[in-house]
Every structure is written in structure tokens, then in C-alpha cells.
């Protein structure tokens, strides 16, 4: 799944470490999310969206035919 997390995060001027602390995850998780290596759970997706005051669809882009992680 593609996402705009890196773009949004850098626009807000926060580091991966800071975002990880805010969301209660590891810095590696943020890095993996940004690189598209890992798809978040619905709970984490909501947390990210809430933090950036956006909708999930504004950050994560679902493409037909995607499944699994």
C-alpha cells in the first residue's frame, strides 16, 4: 500500500523518532511504513490520521488487488 506519510511528516517538520514516540511505536516502524514495507493496522492508521488531522485515505492509498502485508 502506498502512502504519503513521509511527505506529510516532513512538511510538519517532525522526525521519525518524534512521530514514533507520539504514536507509541518504534522508529523502525515509521521507517517501514514510509518505505511501504509494512502496512499499518487499522488502529495505527487511525492514530496517524488523527495526529495529522486528516482522513486515512488522505495518507494511505489503497490499490485494487492488494492483500496481506
Distance of alpha carbon 44 from alpha carbon 50, whole angstroms: 10
Q: Which range binds another protein by CB under 8 A, 6-14, 16-24, 49-57, 58-66? A: 16-24
Q: Is 15 near another protein (CB under 8 A)?
A: no
Distance of alpha carbon 43 from alpha carbon 34, whole angstroms: 17
Q: Is 28 near another protein (CB under 8 A)?
A: yes
Q: Is 25 near another protein (CB under 8 A)?
A: yes
Q: Is 24 near another protein (CB under 8 A)?
A: yes
Distance of alpha carbon 6 from alpha carbon 9, whole angstroms: 5
Amino acid at each position: 500500500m502506498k502512502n504519503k506519510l513521509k511527505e506529510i511528516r516532513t512538511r510538519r517538520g517532525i522526525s521519525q523518532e518524534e512521530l514514533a514516540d507520539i504514536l507509541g511505536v518504534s522508529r523502525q516502524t515509521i521507517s517501514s511504513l514510509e518505505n511501504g514495507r509494512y502496512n499499518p493496522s487499522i488502529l495505527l492508521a487511525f492514530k496517524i490520521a488523527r495526529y495529522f488531522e486528516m482522513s486515512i485515505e488522505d495518507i494511505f492509498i489503497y490499490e485494487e488487488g492488494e492483500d496481506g502485508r
